[in-house]
Every structure is written in structure tokens, then in C-alpha cells.
Chains A and B, each alone.
Chain A
């Protein structure tokens, strides 16, 4: 069965993609499987300059999930271009560059530069980054700054699909989905992590040095499925469904909620071979569900 999908012009061999921040720059997983088996992956969030990241502890396990406050540690654009891209160009898989900035100018400068890199198939904007000019609240939790930063990036991205990764830490995600579509986004990634906290009861303070962190893993799946459902109702552009995917059934659940393709994050840590495994299991499950392709099931749960 052909399970390839077209995500706004990005050709994915299959609809299962590695989520940003859980897949390094792809190469980390080469010791587990051949990267050309997977639909594609999103890079660790890139910034103009390399970033050291947050103090430790940065992670903490939670029921069926985990909290992280990595602080967007990354090698920076130059090293990504010179050290990682030459290797990635040789691999037949979609490379989606995830990026962020602390000002609108940083976002646009980075977007323009990534748009010019040969071998990058698409751009994914992480708008959950704190806006230093607006007191540090995340770009993606304010509708006006979301509009401004997406429009600014849209105006400089000419060659590649521009995907916006939405923050779930908002009252009504469909509003944000609509504003991104109206500002020229070619696709959405839904969702980033939910803000959470765990307290060490013996030390009487949060476990993470940063205090709060982003919750991910199977625990957030129903929240994510519902948000994909809401975004599908609100916009026409394709959606990456993300949040706690751990089995082929979960992939189908997101697709039926309205996702064109999905991304797997936290479960890569537990089962580093999970993405090719899900891609392999998917056709059989689709067959059992009476479907001949992934595309015909997109949004299936919305139909009467």
C-alpha cells in the first residue's frame, strides 16, 4: 500500500516524522536504523547563534510522560549548515528545519537563511519561545505577536513550505490556527509541550532548575488529539499531529482527527526504532480499517 503523503509540497514517503528536540539532527538515530526508512524529521530548534541551554536538572519523569526544560540548546545555524547538512543531503528523507528567535528580527533572519539552504525540505517555526521584547511571554501565546512573527517570516520565505508549530498553552487554539493561515502559513504542527511542574517534596522546591517545564509523552495525547480536531475545523492548510504517539493506532487517531501526517517525540527515547516500526505497521492497520490510503482517512472522524 502506498502510504506516502504530500504535506504542503513536502513529499513524505510515509506519514511518520521525528519531532523536533527528540531527534537531534537525525544522525543520532543512524546507529538504530537507516534514516531513509522514515518520512522525515524535524531538527532540534535552531537559532542564529549556538545556545548552551538551561541549568540542570532539565528533565523529570511524570505519569506516562516527562517534563523538560532543555532551554533550546542547539549548535546554531552555522554549525548546522557546515557540519550536519552535508551528511543529511546524502540521506533520502525529508529534513524539516525547526527554528526560533527571541525577536521578530531574529526569526526573519533565520527564516531567510534556512530558506536558502539546499537540502532543507521545509521550515517549522517554533513560536513557543519567549519574546524578549515583550517581557518574555511566548510569541505563540499572544495572538498579535503570533500574527506579526508569522507574517514577517512569510515575507522572506520564498522557496520552502513554512509550517508554524503552535503552543497548546492558550485558551482557544483555533484562533491561533486561523491567524497563522491568514498570515500565510503553509501548514501547522499541533502541539508543542504543555507547561507543567513537579515538586521535590524532600527539597521543597521544583525538581527542574527552571521551575516549570514542557510536558510530553502519552499523557498529553488526548489533549493533542482534541487540539488537532479544533485546528482541522478552523483551517484548510495541512496539520502535523503531535503528542504522545506510541503506536500505529495513535497515528490513525490523529489522522482521523484531521492530521495529514504525524510526528513522534518522546517515544523515540523509549524505543529508538519506533518511527520505522510504526511506518511498517501502518498499512496493515489501514487495511483492517478498510482504507486504501492515509489521505482518505484525514479528518474521517469529522464526517457524519
Chain B
């Protein structure tokens, strides 16, 4: 599927927001789903890069990505300008699933992990849920989407690794503190970020008996279930599941992170 680049906006050092319009609307998207992007027309880098869908129109006629320049592929994406074309397939995978009964939701996001919550957090807040967003970044300057979450009516708590804003430390340490101080634990935790962070969030949530959904970032060759390269180990079983098809969002108790 060819997409037209509508805009490429720098966010903070090393991060940018791409806005894309597919030739034909992609259809319904669930936050947490991802697309596979071809970074160039030649064969090096060869494989498509997975990217979570960030903000989007309900019919998929426009969607955004929050990208961190991590290597060659994302480096190429960073140079895109308005009017360029991009080869995208998707959306793929299973997104977050917030049950009606969950009245209070704790969202934990690190780095580009804010992407799936750009649409989800406002939707949950608008639906009358009590939404806490815990944002982690290296420094104050690296914080992403704080305004957007505040604007959506969420309670935003910030952690920076250098202490330049909010809690001085990791967002998972902040999560531990929050859980200790809350009169009533949240009904559900949702997280997106690097693997180490997902592991820590899952452990904290399990200790507090809170159902928790995490998004995994395993390397992917295809993104649609054909290569079996992206799998995660099912907890307590001698069995693997594809992250691209059964995930990337899993109940934290389902798989080894």
C-alpha cells in the first residue's frame, strides 16, 4: 500500500512524527496495532520495519507514527518530506483490549512507547475512565506527548532519568511508588516501551494483582505470521506464539518477556 507523506515533524532530539495518508483508507485500527514500513526501494536494508500506529483517523484515511532514529532504516525515514511516498502494509496484530468494567487505567509509556496511547488515552478518558499516564524519558527535553495527555484529561506523572523533571529515576520506579500510594489500585495497567521496561511493569503489576497488558518489540522479518521469527515463549509451556499475529500486545502473564 502506497502512502503519501503529509508531514514529517521533529519532536525532540532523535524523535520525529510522520503523518501518512494511504492511497485507500486502511480501515479500522486498534491502538497497539502496527504497520510494516519499507524504508527504501532497494534491498539494503532489506526487511520492513515495524512501527506502532500512533494517532489515526477512525477510517484509517490518515495515521501518524512516532519514530526514534535507531539505525539505518529509521535514519532513512527521518529524511522523508511532504509529498514523498512510502510503501506500508498493515495494520497487523492485536492491540490493547480495555474491558468495559475497568474504571481506572494506569498507562506506562517509555520513549516511542507513547505512540499507541496517543489515541487510546483520550478515548478512555472521554469514556469516563480514570486515566493515569506515567511517562518516562531520559531528560525533560525527551518527554513526548505530555501536553496531549494532559489535554485529554489524564493525570500525567513524569519520570526522567536525570531528574530534570518530575520523579528522578526510571518510570517503572515511579510506577512502584504510585501503586504504593494509591488508595485503590487501578483495574488495569497498559504498557509500551523497551523489553526491560515491559518486564519490570509486568512484575510490579503482578505483585499488586493488577491485570496488565504489555507490547513486545521482538525483531520481525514479515509482520504477518509467515516467518515464525518474532515468537515469544508461552509461560509454563514448551510452545511459542507469534508476536506479530497473537501480539504485539499480550496479557503479561501469558508470555515470557
User: Using a CB–CB distance below 8 Å, which chain A residues touch chain B?
Assistant: 21-24, 28-29, 31, 44, 52-53, 55-61, 63-66, 68, 70, 73, 217-218, 246, 266, 268-270, 272
Known: A66-B47, A218-B46, A269-B222. A59 touches B38 (CB 8 A): no
A69's nearest neighbour on chain B, judged by CB, is B229
Contacts of B218 in A (CB 8 A): 56-57
Q: What's the nearest-Cβ distance from chain B to residue A22, in Å?
A: 6
Known: A66-B221, A218-B43, A269-B221. A53 touches B228 (CB 8 A): yes
B239's nearest neighbour on chain A, judged by CB, is A52
Establish whether residues A24 and B225, one from each chain, have CB atoms under 8 Å apart when the complex forms.
Answer: yes
Establish whether residues B240 and A52, one from each chain, have CB atoms under 8 Å apart when the complex forms.
Answer: yes
Q: Is B10 an interface residue (CB 8 A)?
A: no
User: Using a CB–CB distance below 8 Å, which chain B residues touch chain A?
Assistant: 38, 43-48, 89, 218-233, 238-240
Q: What's the nearest-Cβ distance from chain B to residue A35, in Å?
A: 13
Contacts of B225 in A (CB 8 A): 24, 28
- Candidates A52, A57, A269; contact of B227 at CB < 8 Å: A269
Known: A52-B238, A56-B218, A73-B228. A269 touches B47 (CB 8 A): yes
A50's nearest neighbour on chain B, judged by CB, is B239
* Bound CA span A29–B43, Å: 22
Establish whether residues A269 and B226, one from each chain, have CB atoms under 8 Å apart when the complex forms.
Answer: yes
Establish whether residues A56 and B226, one from each chain, have CB atoms under 8 Å apart when the complex forms.
Answer: no
Q: How many A-B residue pairs have CB under 8 A?
A: 84
Known: A52-B239, A53-B240, A56-B233. A65 touches B224 (CB 8 A): no
Contacts of A22 in B (CB 8 A): 226-227
* Bound CA span A261–B227, Å: 23
Contacts of A272 in B (CB 8 A): 89, 222, 224, 226
7 A-B pairs with least C-beta separation: A59-B229, A269-B222, A64-B43, A218-B43, A64-B44, A269-B221, A58-B229
Establish whether residues B226 and A23, one from each chain, have CB atoms under 8 Å apart when the complex forms.
Answer: yes
Counting chain B CB atoms within 10 Å of each CB, the highest count among A52, A64, A269 belongs to A269
Contacts of B219 in A (CB 8 A): 57, 59-61
- Candidates A23, A28, A59, A63; contact of B221 at CB < 8 Å: A59
- Candidates A23, A28, A65, A70; contact of B46 at CB < 8 Å: A65
B229's nearest neighbour on chain A, judged by CB, is A59
Establish whether residues A270 and B44, one from each chain, have CB atoms under 8 Å apart when the complex forms.
Answer: no
Q: What's the nearest-Cβ distance from chain A to residue B122, in Å?
A: 30
Establish whether residues A70 and B44, one from each chain, have CB atoms under 8 Å apart when the complex forms.
Answer: no
Establish whether residues A59 and B89, one from each chain, have CB atoms under 8 Å apart when the complex forms.
Answer: no
Establish whether residues A70 and B228, one from each chain, have CB atoms under 8 Å apart when the complex forms.
Answer: yes
User: What are 10 contact pairs spanning A and B, CB under 8 A?
Assistant: A21-B227, A52-B238, A52-B240, A56-B240, A58-B230, A61-B45, A70-B227, A73-B240, A269-B47, A269-B223
Contacts of A61 in B (CB 8 A): 45-47, 219, 221
Q: What's the nearest-Cβ distance from chain A to residue B183, in Å?
A: 40
* Bound CA span A269–B46, Å: 10
* Bound CA span A66–B219, Å: 12
B87's nearest neighbour on chain A, judged by CB, is A271
Q: What's the nearest-Cβ distance from chain B to residue A267, in Å?
A: 9
Known: A56-B233, A61-B46, A68-B229. A268 touches B222 (CB 8 A): yes
* Bound CA span A217–B46, Å: 9
